[in-house]
């Protein structure tokens, strides 16, 4: 790849930035091509970054949201020869939620032809003789193509990925019915991951918007996406999202099941829920949040809380328990649920339905009682070869964050922790991406494997395109800060490349290496719009004449003989060099333009 | 104060929000009136919050930026009878920086009549017989009006403020020539404070803009403001800022001194610097950043750094040391500097000129060598009764943050730590308010007394009005999160009040209690614009029919007998109540408006 070539590609309009291009690392087989982002620096060097944006940023691939993405994993799944296609469950009108009871203009009710996914017909696939999970393979010592793919992305040996999955310390969410994904691994030994939530609701949003939010979120770095739709067209929206998603998709099946019973929690049944789970397994959902830890006896523990139960799934199950005065049907049928998920390789995300919704409720009896039950369920899931993550809070003041990770790791046998924030204070609605970004960075440093983003609209409304970007960027910062603090081998290289560019006044390189090149460039141009300013050896903080970086650079040139220089050499060189400095007329400035 | 009265005041246009009003707590004397913000909740309760906005938000006070604020402290200073007025140093053309060499359109050069502060003439004041610092008074066991004022704001006993100042663990920046300020205290035993930087530069900005930025920053919660002007009209800009500032003002005298010698660092002299310090002491600057710890022998330690010296003051002194091959003149004349500051009660902010400018350089030899020198200078300053803070980094990855506070507290005898961020990663220019907000919250939790904000424009340009607000709000979040983690007695009350409002669907109360009511209200209205929505018992995330908060509230009503209810009572009540729940038709929803 020549830099000219790169430059040409860099001008592709949908790139949003210049100076980098999409590239691939090839594994042990030609169809194992791992996407990377190569940033081309003006000093001739390249920096290689992890890339989640999928084929959408690859100019050699023509994508069409009406056809969906190519089934990258199809040959790998087929070659394993342990799955079979079958007719599958027929799609029913109620699968799309209340739409059929609330017809839209021009909609006759029933499947909505103008919104149905128009891609090629497909039959669902499932394991022929039981578990086809990455966990089952890892335990048998098999390194799958998915594991090698994820290992190449992380820059670690495939064996490490297999071992972490086998031990239950990592998951690789990859439903056999979602062959479009680029495999990735979630675990504390790997790069901290970020999940972005999308989904329509009864109040607002449309199918098109959700697909757009998906590609927008992954472009900025979302590693997984959860479709939390609760309104109309639930099944149809999910189909569009799955067929166009290069990242694993998560859902909360309870939301759709509730719509199927008209929103009446007490009318929920195991059969309706079970049918919904199978529907989603066949579509290709990669991981599912299941609120099986909200036990009947835990509900009263929330009675004297400041903010009760704030998890929607948690409150639905609490209402069901109250209505029937019976044990949570997700708990009592958990083993059967495992039997279903294992034949599709759907990963559990055991939901924390009793997570605190205010700092006052953090780390209380209700929260930790549920966590202990999640630990028990985690062992059941693993006995069935079902990959499992554990969800975590919520709202937690800084001094109570570490206890959350330590307890979860102990109680859940080091299963990957997947937390929402946590928010470190309740007083800043409209800035909860920041109140939670603080907690997210800390909890990730201490061992959380994936962070669920929070947008500026948290508590206030549904995130729009800008909120999704702000949420993802904020959480990429938290995740990367944690990777640095954990000493991840590749993390520091990115910071160093950007700091070198900053010290050497390579403004374009700073922009291209930034998490958000567009905004960095725009902010810089507000003060110094001229193209020349981007190569000028000064920045707007000090003005054109004096620049601390420049002086510092002159010091560096005088004494910086590189790591090889001993302190003695440096000390010796100092006197001579500082005389030179004076003799040279004390040129500590930059040439002034005019 | 009746709520009607409050409501009337709340409608004052420049308030920016409704539902709260300015009030005062009166101390031991009638002229000791401490401002507070009283938020009026729709449930009839009031919440009292710390207020930094000054007389500008007090409808009973008419402010005029051309006259300046009333000299609140004048009688207290006069009553102590230990200061005297004197003619003072005449203002010279060069005090306004290069303007006289770079005349603006319509400017004849020399003092610029159209920008000169038009307020009443004033003569400077200084101690008649030595130190008039709050430290000197505190050591003598005296509780000044300033100490009582700050104690009332913090909700602690005045004796605590005196003890912390006497021990050097806290400072109360209050130049006798800045009687306009509302006294505040900076120390780890008190609420974490936030500083906002303003200041013009050779590239951009004007006098009017700086005064506007000052009042804007304090309105959102800035506890102190630093005027870092480096361009033209430096003296004049500072005069406008001081006379209109209700908060302590800090500066870096070195910046102005450099302008006086045409920007040529090697031409700086102790005399020019000393004259500039006296000029600023007479004007009323409350605290000054002094880079006296950048010693000649430390300069080579930065040679092999990733980003060298990034502190502007640090690089100016490094250049001077190189040019003359002599010891830093701020270090060699430090005792004389103490003699000057003590008679005006100007507080030292010992600058960290060698702070790391990238995570790669964090906690290195250069940084900690300077810190040890700052510890030595801190003891000299205290021997002269000069109040002292110590400045800290910078760019520091999370796992290296704690060491910074612990070393500083040990080496500097627990003097207040005042840090810039730290930024926890270098990869997100345009989001450095967030990369640094993470580090700021952590370092404040561990003992930092004041945080210097970072705006989204850091590394890229000069902050505008929106950037100043974003920077202040982000840092108020970090400071409050730290107050919560430190268990500050009043911190949790704010979160609890907002969470109660959230749980009880009191939307207007949530907005009025928010750090930024305007944005919270605007975000909510984007999704649910109707006025009715603000009292509706649902939010846009779940839609009008189902709301987890509402279900949770019904659980709370069933079992929540308040803290007095025992677990037995709750368990007993549960069965009966859940039957009621069923008999009542399982009403777990809200009446649907349709």
pLDDT in tens, B422-459: 999 999 999 999 999 999 999 999 999 999 999 999 99
Check A551 against B319: CB less than 8 A apart.
yes
Does A1 appear as a known binding residue? Answer: no
> What single string gives the DSSP state of each residue in A502-520?
HHTT-HHHHHHHSSSHHHH
Enter the tokens of residue A170. Answer: 């990592």
- Which residues of chain A, if any, have pLDDT below 70? 1-18, 98-114, 201-205, 528-551, 556-594
Structure tokens at B343: 């008679």
- For B432-457, give one letter per residue: b (16+ CB within 10 A) or e: bbbbbbbbbbbbbbbbbbbbbbbbbb
Residue A110 marked in a binding site:
no
Q: From chain A, pick out residues whose CB is under 8 angstroms from the CB of B500.
A: 306
Hey, is the C-beta of A462 within 8 angstroms of any chain B C-beta? yes
CB of A418 closer than 8 Å to CB of A409:
no
Q: Which of B478, B495, B552 lies closest to A315 in CB terms?
A: B552
- Asked if B543 reaches chain A (Cβ–Cβ under 8 Å), the answer is yes
Give the contacts of A276 (CB within 8 A, at least 6 positions apart).
Answer: A253, A256, A257, A260
What CA–CA distance (Å, rounded) separates B146 from B153? 11
Q: How confident is the model at residue B533 (pLDDT cuts 50, 70, 90)?
A: low
B20 φ, ψ (degrees, to nearest 5): -150, 165
Q: Within an 8 Å CB–CB cutoff, is residue A481 touching chain B?
A: yes
Chain B residues within 8 A of A540 when measuring between CB atoms: 201, 203-204, 460-462
Annotated binding site of B for Zn(2+): 395, 459
Taking only residues 171 to 210 of chain A, the set having a beta carbon closer than 8 angstroms to any beta carbon of chain B reads: 201-204
Min Cα distance B361 → chain A (Å) is 10
> From the list B358, B487, B499, which residue is nearest A307 (CB)?
B499
Residue-level pLDDT at B526: 83
Place of tokens 């009896």: A365
Evaluate whether B540 touches A201 at the Cβ level (below 8 Å): yes
Residue pair B168/B449 in contact (Cβ under 8 Å)? The answer is: no
- Total Cβ atoms within 10 A of residue A214: 27
At residue A339, φ and ψ (nearest 5 deg) are -60, -35
User: Per residue in B94-147, pLDDT tens?
Assistant: 898 764 444 444 444 344 446 789 888 899 999 999 999 999 999 999 999 999
pLDDT at position A165: 98
Residue B547 distance to chain A (closest CA, Å): 7
Compare all CA atoms of chain A with the CA of B461 and give the residue at the minimum distance. Answer: A540
Q: Please tell me whether A279 is known to bind a ligand.
A: no
Of residues A59, A357, A173, A193, the one with CA closest to residue B553: A357
DSSP 3-state of B33: strand
Cα-Cα-Cα-Cα dihedral sign, residues A403, A408, A411, A416: negative
Which residues of A fall within a CB distance of 8 Å from B526? 461, 464
Using alpha carbons, select from A462, A463, A100, A107 the residue that is nearest to residue A259: A100
Residues in chain B within 8 Å Cβ distance of A477 = 424-425, 427-428, 431, 434-435, 438
Query: Which residues of B are annotated as part of the binding site?
Result: 197, 226, 255, 291, 311-313, 352-355, 391, 395, 418, 459, 539, 542, 547
Q: Which residues in chain A have their CB less than 8 angstroms from residue B565's CB?
A: 303-304
Q: In this complex, do A305 and B549 lie within 8 Å of one another by their Cβ atoms?
A: no
**Whether this model's pTM surpasses 0.80:** yes
- Measure CA of the first residue to CA of the last residue in chain A; give whole Å: 40
Among the listed residues B323, B298, B268, the one whose alpha carbon sits nearest the alpha carbon of residue A579: B323
Selecting from B310, B478, B551 the residue whose C-beta is nearest the C-beta of A318 gives: B551
Backbone angles phi, psi at B271, to 5 degrees: -65, -45
Contact A431 B473 (CB under 8 A): yes
Nearest to B438 among A460, A464, A478 (CB): A478
Sign of CA dihedral A522, A527, A531, A535: negative
**What is the distance between the alpha carbons of residues B216 and B226, in angstroms, rounded to a whole number?**
14
Give which of A430, A562, A587 to mutate to test B binding, by max B Cβ within 10 Å.
A430
A495 to chain B, any CB pair closer than 8 A? The answer is yes
Contacts of A563 in chain B (CB under 8 A): 304
Judging contacts by C-beta atoms under 8 Å, the chain B residues touching residue A537 are none
CA distance B157 to chain A (A): 26
Q: What are phi and psi of A322, to 5 degrees?
A: -65, -45
Q: What angle do CA B157, B160, B166 make, to 5 degrees?
A: 145
- For B140, residues 6+ apart whose C-beta sits below 8 A from its C-beta are none
Q: Could B314 and A548 be called an inter-chain contact, meaning their C-beta atoms sit closer than 8 Å?
A: yes
Residue B116's CB is within 10 A of a number of other CB atoms, namely 16
What is the DSSP secondary-structure string of B49-91? Answer: EE--SGGGG-TTS---TTT----TTHHHHHHH--EEE---PPP
In chain B, whose CA is at the least distance from the CA of A580?
A: B323
* Residue A426 in contact with partner chain B when CB distance is under 8 A: yes
Q: Which of A512, A476, A472, A479 lies closest to A213, judged by CA?
A: A472
Closest residue to B202, CB basis, from A459, A545, A588: A545
Whole-number Å distance between alpha carbons of B279 and B460: 32
Instruction: Give the minimum alpha-carbon distance from B297 to chain A in angstroms, rounded to a whole number.
Output: 8
Predicted confidence at residue B298, as pLDDT, reads 94
In whole angstroms, what is the distance from residue B204 CA to residue B226 CA? 17
Task: Point out the annotated binding site of B for [4Fe-4S] cluster.
Answer: 539, 542, 547
| Interface size, chain A vs chain B, as Cβ–Cβ contacts under 8 Å | 458
Cα distance between residue A156 and residue A158, in whole Å:
6
Q: Is A319 on the interface with B (CB under 8 A)?
A: yes
Contact B543, A203 (CB under 8 A): yes
End-to-end CA distance of chain B: 41
**What residues of chain A lie within 8 A of the CB of B356, using their CB?**
none
- pLDDT for A585: 52
CB distance A311–B548 less than 8 Å?
yes
B225: helix, strand or coil: strand
* Domains of chain B, start order: 189-486 (3.20.20.540), 492-584 (no CATH)
Q: Assess whether pLDDT exceeds 70 at residue B49.
A: yes
Asked whether the CA dihedral A557, A560, A564, A569 is positive or negative, the reply is: positive
> Which of A360, A435, A588 lies nearest to residue B492, judging by beta carbons?
A360
Number of other residues whose CB lies within 10 A of the CB of residue B542: 22
State yes or no: pLDDT of B33 exceeds 90: yes
A558 touches chain B (CB under 8 A): yes
Contact status of A394 with chain B (Cβ, < 8 Å): no
Highest mean pLDDT among B187-201, B223-237, B244-258, B514-528: B244-258
Chain B residues with beta carbon closer than 8 angstroms to that of A421: none
Residues A347, A414 contacting (CB under 8 angstroms): no
Residue B198: its H or E element:
strand B193-198
Q: Which residue has the tokens 């060699």?
A: B332
Closest CA to B430 of A514, A491, A533: A514
For B:212-251, CB contacts with A below 8 A are 230-231
pLDDT of residue A535: 59
Q: Which of B197, B178, B194, B183 is nearest to B150 (CA)?
A: B183
Give residue B101's region: left, alpha or beta (phi > 0; psi -120 to 50). Answer: alpha
B97 touching chain A per CB within 8 A: no
Largest CA distance in chain B: 90
**Which of B320, B255, B307, B327 is closest to A552 using CA atoms?**
B307
- Alpha carbon distances (Å) from A254 to A271, A384, A507, A554: 12, 22, 49, 63
Secondary structure of B431-462 in HEC code, one letter for each residue: CHHHHHHHHHHHHHHCCCCEEECCCCCCCCCC
Task: Give me the helix-helix angle, B312-324 and B253-260, nearest 10°.
Answer: 50
Q: Does the CB of B424 have a partner CB in chain A at under 8 Å? A: yes
Contacts of A39 (CB under 8 A, 6+ apart): A19, A20, A46, A47, A48, A49, A497, A509, A512, A513
Nearest to B431 among A204, A299, A473 (CB): A473
Set of chain A residues whose Cβ sits within 8 Å of the Cβ of B201: 540-543
**What's the average model confidence in pLDDT over B378-392?**
98
pLDDT of B529 reads 63
Partners of B126 in the β-ladder: B84
ipTM of the complex: 0.89
Distance CA A274, CA A276 (A): 5
Give DSSP secondary structure letters for A121-139.
----EEESSS---HHHHHH
Chain A partners within 8 Å of B516 (Cβ): 428, 430-431
Bridge-based pairing of strands B20-26 and B33-40 is antiparallel
Task: Give the pLDDT of residue B539.
Answer: 56
Are B294 and B328 contacting, i.e. CB atoms less than 8 angstroms apart? yes
In angstroms, the CA A447 to CA A424 distance is: 17
| Percentage of residues in chain B having pLDDT higher than 90 | 71
Is residue B572 classed exposed, middle or buried when 0-12, 13-18 and 19+ CB atoms within 10 A define those classes? exposed
Contact A174, A73 (CB under 8 A): yes
User: Cα angle vertex A466, ends A461, A471, to 5°?
Assistant: 75
Strands B170-171 and B186-187: antiparallel
A322 touching B (Cβ < 8 Å) = yes
| Helical spans, DSSP H, in B205-345 | 207-219, 234-243, 253-260, 270-283, 312-324, 329-332, 334-342
Q: What are A263-266's contacts with CB under 8 Å, separation 24+?
A: A263/A98, A263/B545, A263/B546, A263/B589, A264/B586, A264/B589, A265/A316, A265/A319, A265/A320, A265/A323, A265/B546, A265/B551, A265/B586, A265/B588, A266/A319, A266/A320, A266/A323, A266/A324, A266/B582, A266/B586, A266/B588
* A420 marked as binding residue: no
Q: Does B82 touch chain A (CB under 8 A)?
A: no
All residues of chain A having their beta carbon less than 8 Å from the beta carbon of residue B542 are 201, 230, 312
């Amino acid at each position: 790849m020549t830099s000219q070539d790169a430059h040409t590609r860099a001008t592709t309009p949908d790139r949003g930035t210049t100076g980098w291009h999409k590239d691939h690392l090839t594994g042990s087989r030609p169809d194992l091509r791992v996407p990377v982002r190569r940033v081309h620096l003006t000093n001739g060097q390249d920096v290689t970054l992890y890339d989640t944006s999928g084929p959408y940023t690859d100019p050699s691939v023509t994508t069409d949201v009406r056809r969906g993405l190519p089934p990258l994993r199809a040959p790998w799944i087929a070659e394993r020869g342990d799955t079979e296609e079958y007719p599958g469950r027929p799609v029913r009108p109620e699968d799309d939620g209340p739409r059929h009871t609330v017809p839209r203009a021009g909609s006759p009710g029933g499947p909505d032809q103008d919104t149905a996914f128009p891609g090629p017909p497909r039959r669902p696939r499932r394991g022929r003789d039981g578990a086809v999970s990455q966990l089952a393979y890892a335990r048998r010592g098999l390194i799958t193509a998915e594991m090698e793919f994820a290992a190449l992305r992380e820059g670690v040996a495939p064996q490490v990925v297999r071992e972490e999955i086998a031990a239950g310390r990592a998951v690789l969410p990859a439903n056999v019915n979602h062959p479009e994904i680029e495999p990735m691994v979630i675990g504390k030994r790997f790069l901290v991951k970020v999940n972005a939530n999308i989904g329509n609701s009864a109040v607002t949003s449309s199918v098109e918007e959700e697909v757009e939010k998906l590609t927008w979120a992954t472009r900025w770095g979302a590693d997984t996406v959860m479709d939390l739709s609760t309104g109309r067209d639930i099944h149809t929206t999910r189909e569009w999202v799955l067929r166009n998603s290069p990242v694993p998709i998560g859902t909360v099946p309870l939301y759709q099941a509730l719509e199927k019973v008209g929103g009446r929690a007490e009318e929920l049944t195991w059969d309706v829920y079970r049918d919904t789970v199978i529907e989603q397994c066949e579509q290709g959902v990669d991981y599912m949040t299941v609120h099986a830890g909200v036990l009947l006896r835990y509900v009263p523990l929330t009675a004297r809380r400041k903010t009760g139960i704030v998890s929607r799934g948690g409150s639905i199950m609490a209402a069901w328990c109250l209505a029937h005065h019976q044990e949570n049907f997700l708990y009592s049928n958990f083993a059967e649920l495992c039997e279903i998920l294992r034949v599709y390789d759907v990963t559990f995300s055991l939901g924390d339905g009793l997570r605190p919704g205010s700092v006052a409720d953090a780390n209380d009896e209700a929260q930790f009682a549920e966590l202990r039950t999640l630990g028990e369920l985690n062992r059941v899931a693993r006995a069935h070869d079902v990959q499992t993550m554990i969800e975590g809070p919520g709202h937690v003041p800084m001094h109570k964050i570490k206890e959350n990770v330590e307890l979860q790791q102990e109680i859940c046998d080091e299963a990957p922790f997947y937390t929402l924030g946590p928010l470190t204070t309740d007083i800043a609605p409209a800035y909860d991406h920041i109140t939670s970004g603080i907690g997210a960075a800390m909890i990730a440093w201490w061992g959380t494997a994936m962070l669920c983003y929070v947008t500026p609209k948290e508590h206030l409304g549904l995130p729009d395109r800008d909120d999704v970007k702000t949420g993802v960027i904020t959480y990429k910062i938290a995740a990367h800060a944690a990777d640095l603090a954990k000493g991840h081998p590749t993390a520091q290289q990115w910071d160093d490349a950007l700091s070198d560019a900053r010290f050497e006044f390579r403004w374009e390189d700073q922009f291209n290496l930034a998490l958000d090149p567009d905004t960095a460039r725009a902010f810089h141009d507000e003060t110094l719009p001229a193209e020349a300013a981007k190569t000028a050896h000064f920045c707007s903080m000090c003005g054109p004449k004096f620049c601390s970086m420049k002086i510092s650079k002159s010091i560096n040139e005088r004494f910086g003989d590189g790591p090889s220089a001993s302190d003695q050499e440096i000390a010796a060189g100092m006197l001579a060099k500082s005389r030179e400095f004076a003799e040279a007329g004390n040129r500590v400035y930059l040439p002034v333009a005019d």
